[in-house]
A and B are shown apart, each in its own frame.
Chain A
């Protein structure tokens, strides 16, 4: 079957691209290869966080949570329709003295850059595809923080995912 035949390719890509840290950035998960993340996401953008606005929100399950609305100035659209800015809703944040921490999410501060793998909710807002695995912060040298994975490698993976 094609799926079975692709396993060694995926494994090689993971070994070559992920280096040491990427798997360690996620929560207790089954890590999803980058190309597969890209295929599953409706949009993939590289952008800088302009602002973070925490709000109270009740999710589809009835949980009342703090959600941070992260405004992203898009520098590059790797997949999907290009927009100059996007609002991404990420669980967790601080309102007043109260902070919600979520084990499989990433918190953002203005000025930080990241690759965002996104999907659109029924409400029309964007949330990370695969939760924390859809948020890859970049350092000053355009590597995913704490890993050897480069933005250029991510670009190639997204392009490969788009081509399949």
Chain B
């Protein structure tokens, strides 16, 4: 069954490549007031040690800072919280449940043009998760799924570039999302423009 889905997913990707109408990243609208926010992880899951899951989620979050320098997700620590809502606590959790064919879902809250909360749920009851860069079979690496979902959490929608981290579909054991595409970087830097070092102010020439 899983092999069948993988084949279908891969085929859809190929179809899209050949018939797609190229478009760039999509901004969802609201953004954070600053180019960084903090988050917690509830690493309890069905597939891996808590430490492995925590490390993998952090790796997925970090790609946005390491590869774009435009936005930083600052890891705060572990949490035992198992529910999401608009509570000002950005949380990543694994849920022993399925949600259709979604691998993970990001819920983000905004007031006006500002994001005020973002939570990510991995649907652990439906899919097997792996960490690192080897050993995956019939599942997904957390790093790659997390990179995509954190993209939503910072304000990006789905890209139609098949190589983009923010492309909506992914094949089993894909390791491409952990490397941002130029389209992803264009998206995040459009939302959070890189600021050149400001010139020193208040200088006086003392003669």
Contacts and interface: CB of A to CB of B under 8 A. Distances in A.
For chain B, what secondary structure do more than half of its interface residues adopt (helix, strand, loop), or is it mixed? mixed
Given A103-B152, A133-B100, A97 B112 contact: yes
B8 interface: yes
Interface in A132-152: 132-134, 148
B192 to A, nearest CB: 18
| A: interface residue count bin | 35 or more
B104 interface: yes
Given A24-B158, A100-B107, A33 B102 contact: no
Interface stretch (B36-44, B166-174, B178-186): B166-174
A99 B148 CA distance: 21
Quick one: which of A32, A99, A101 has the most chain B CB within 10 A? Answer: A101
Chain B contact residues (Cβ within 8 angstroms of A): what range? 35 or more
A3 B107 contact: no
Given A103-B105, A131-B99, A21 B21 contact: yes
Interface in B191-206: none
A5 to B, nearest CB: 11
A31 B169 contact: yes
- Classify the interface of chain A: helix, strand, loop or mixed: mixed
Contacts of B80: none
Nearest to B97: A61
A26 interface: yes
A105 to B, nearest CB: 8
A8 to B, nearest CB: 9
Interface string B75-97: 00000001111100000000101
A27 B145 CA distance: 11
A15 B20 CA distance: 12
Interface of A: 3-4, 7, 10-11, 14-15, 18-21, 23-33, 61-65, 91, 97-104, 128-134, 148
Interface of B: 1, 4-9, 11-13, 15-16, 19-21, 28, 30, 82-86, 95, 97, 99-112, 145, 148-149, 152, 158, 160, 167-170, 172
Given A3-B1, A20-B21, 6 more contacts: A20-B20, A28-B145, A29-B168, A64-B85, A65-B84, A131-B102
